[in-house]
Amino acid sequence: MIKLLLAVLLAMCLTACAGQETAETTQPETTRPETSQTETTQAPETARPGILSTFTAQDLQGQAVNQEILKGKKLTMVNVWATFCGPCINEMPDLGALAQEYAGKGVQIVGLLSDATASDGSIDPSQVELAQEIVDATGANYLHIVPGGDMMGLLYQITSVPTTFFVDETGKQVGTAYVGAKDKDAWAAIIDQMLEEVA
């Protein structure tokens, strides 16, 4: 029985990391569960339709980013990740390959770095630098953004990383959110399904 329990716990650790506080050292008012899931049928509360209709952020080079990145794309896959999360980093090479393969189909992948922004909206430069090193090492050469203060409500709803959800070009959510890492084939099947929903 103990071996079975250990196997289940190991499997959970390999697909998702429990949430960790952002760069600020103070705890937010809300508490985060320390459990992880493999998939959820409910999207994060603030990731309901229109959550990315208006937002401010910056990319890893400090350039301003907003909802305009969604324009002209049938589907945007938003992969919320953290620098401390092994499963996040392990799936990034596959996400990089998928970003290239689906670019011609109106699909983009956007990484949302969850552990570089404090609850007051300030950004930790050392975390951004570490994130860029990870992106370079994994070949995840798609847009990665560091959320602004107006996206903190979304991040507080994310209990585990990676969490991935999809939006259309207006920022409206498509389908459900997925918690946990997946391989290239699994993500390709999900992307194809989401494309049918926005067709």
What is residue 46's predicted lDDT score, i.e. its pLDDT?
44
Q: Which residues contact 79 (CB under 8 A, 6 or more apart)?
A: 88, 95, 109, 110, 111, 112, 162, 164
- pTM, full prediction: 0.79
Tell me the average pLDDT across 169-186.
96
Residue 125, preceding bond cis, omega within 30 degrees?
Answer: no
- Tell which wins on pLDDT, 21 or 80: 80
Give the separation between CA 193 and CA 199, rounded to whole angstroms.
Answer: 10
